């Protein structure tokens, strides 16, 4: 079992402090596939990197099999890390080494005798389905095959925990599917605990037992995948659910809005990063002689900006309404869809 208590990471640079992971407390059960979903900047990578201390925590404790990782000295930490494999979005393979040599690398570091290495590498190659590719170089492999090498290398020292940081994010849907199936396979065969980070809901839906939704360094929702996604409470969770469910309620509401807000212009604004909705709305109201009424919205604020949509009513002189829309179109990254033109 992995037990995390009050775990935080604050990055400090010259002019600012970023709380990347903010006071996380949770338990991850032995043998489960635990998903962590969140938008870019939510703190997911920092969180997993704290588990094997690739990142030093600012505070808190991480117990893996009753051992506090945060207090281990260099030598014990090195040994403890052999119990935690990790795979990455961009595979992080050594390009001058063959498949077999990449997989043998952690065994060399662990000073495993040469003949045991050879035997172990062969087992791993079979396990991940790369038989015949032993002597290939990473540059000769497809993305899916590269990730298979990554998985074999991560499993070399027989860890009990596997950390996956966006491990399928660089892969096409078919390859993603086969890598996820491989992860489920090794989870069952080896009883491995898997912590899987993603920004893709279908990855969670497909293989995770439980999920934590992260936003601004915190876990805002946690539970069984089915419970969390059938009754999402937080806006960010609803947004992730709509990745696979679609925005069903929204379409019905449009007619209602048009009927009930008869004046001015009705537009749907799509925010994809960068611009924050509040700043934009107040800027328009200050710059142009219009009123803005927010009718409906689904916005998830992330570290990297707003994500989602707002339906707004803009009222004022025709010329001013037009100038407002032109401003949004030309001066911001927000996309504008006019639902009902001014009348």
- At 22, phi and psi to the nearest 5? -120, 90
Within 13 A of 287's CA, how many CA atoms are on the CB side? 15
Nearer to Mg ion, 3 or 169 (CB): 169
Q: Which is nearer to Mg ion, 8 or 45 (CB)?
A: 45
Decide if residue 45 touches Mg ion (CB under 5 A): yes
2, 4, 37, 44: which one binds ligand ADP (CB under 6 A):
44
168 makes contact with Mg ion (CB under 5 A): no
DSSP code of residue 241:
H
**In the set 2, 37, 42, 125, which binds ligand ADP (CB under 6 A)?**
42
Nearest CB to ligand ADP, comparing residues 38 and 316 = 38
* 42 φ, ψ (degrees, to nearest 5): -70, -20
- Considering the complex, what minimum distance in angstroms separates the CB of residue 47 from Mg ion? 9
d(CA 152, CA 218): 31
From ligand ADP, Mg ion, none, which one binds at residue 42 (CB under 5 to 8 Å depending on kind)? ligand ADP
Structure tokens at 23: 């006071």
CB of 89 to ligand ADP, least distance (A): 10
Minimum distance between the CB of residue 261 and Mg ion, rounded to whole angstroms? 40
- Selection from Mg ion, ligand ADP, none that 18 binds (CB < 5 to 8 A by kind) is ligand ADP
- How many residues can be counted in the chain? 343
Q: How far is the CB of 185 from ligand ADP (least distance, A)?
A: 26
Shortest Å distance, C-beta 103 to ligand ADP: 26
**Is 192 a binder of ligand ADP (CB under 6 A)?**
no
Sequence-distant (6+) residues with CB within 8 A of 205 are 225, 229, 244
| Helical ranges in 97-234 per DSSP H | 99-109, 114-127, 143-155, 173-190, 201-207, 225-230
């Amino acid at each position: 079992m992995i037990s995390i208590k009050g775990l935080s990471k604050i990055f400090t640079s010259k002019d600012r402090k970023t709380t990347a992971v903010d006071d996380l407390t949770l338990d991850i059960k032995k043998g489960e596939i635990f998903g962590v979903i969140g938008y870019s900047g939510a703190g997911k990578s920092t969180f997993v990197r704290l588990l094997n201390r690739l990142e030093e925590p600012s505070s808190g404790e991480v117990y893996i099999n009753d051992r506090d990782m945060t207090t281990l000295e260099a030598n014990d930490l090195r040994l403890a890390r052999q119990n935690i494999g990790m795979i990455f979005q961009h595979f992080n393979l050594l390009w001058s080494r063959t498949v077999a040599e990449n997989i043998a690398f952690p065994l060399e570091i662990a000073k495993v005798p040469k003949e045991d290495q050879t035997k172990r590498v062969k087992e791993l190659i079979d396990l991940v389905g790369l038989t015949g590719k032993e002597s290939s170089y990473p540059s000769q492999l497809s993305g899916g095959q590269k990730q298979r090498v990554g998985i074999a290398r991560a499993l070399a020292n027989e860890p009990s925990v596997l950390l996956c940081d966006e491990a399928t994010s660089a892969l096409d849907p078919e390859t993603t599917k086969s890598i996820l199936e491989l992860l489920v396979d090794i989870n069952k065969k080896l009883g491995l605990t898997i912590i899987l980070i993603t920004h893709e809901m279908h990855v969670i839906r497909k293989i995770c037992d439980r999920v934590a939704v992260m936003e601004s360094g915190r876990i805002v929702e946690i539970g069984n995948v089915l419970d969390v996604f059938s009754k999402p409470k937080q806006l960010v969770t609803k947004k992730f659910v709509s990745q696979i469910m679609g925005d069903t309620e929204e379409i019905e509401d449009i007619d209602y809005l048009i009927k009930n807000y008869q004046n001015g212009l009705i537009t749907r604004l799509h925010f994809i990063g960068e611009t924050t909705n509040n700043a934009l709305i107040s800027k328009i109201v200050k710059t142009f002689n219009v009123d803005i009424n927010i009718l409906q919205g689904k916005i998830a604020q992330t570290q990297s900006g707003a994500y989602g949509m707002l339906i707004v009513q803009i009222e004022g002189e025709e010329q001013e309404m037009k100038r407002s829309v032109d401003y949004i179109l030309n001066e911001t990254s927000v996309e504008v869809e006019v639902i009902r033109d001014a009348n």
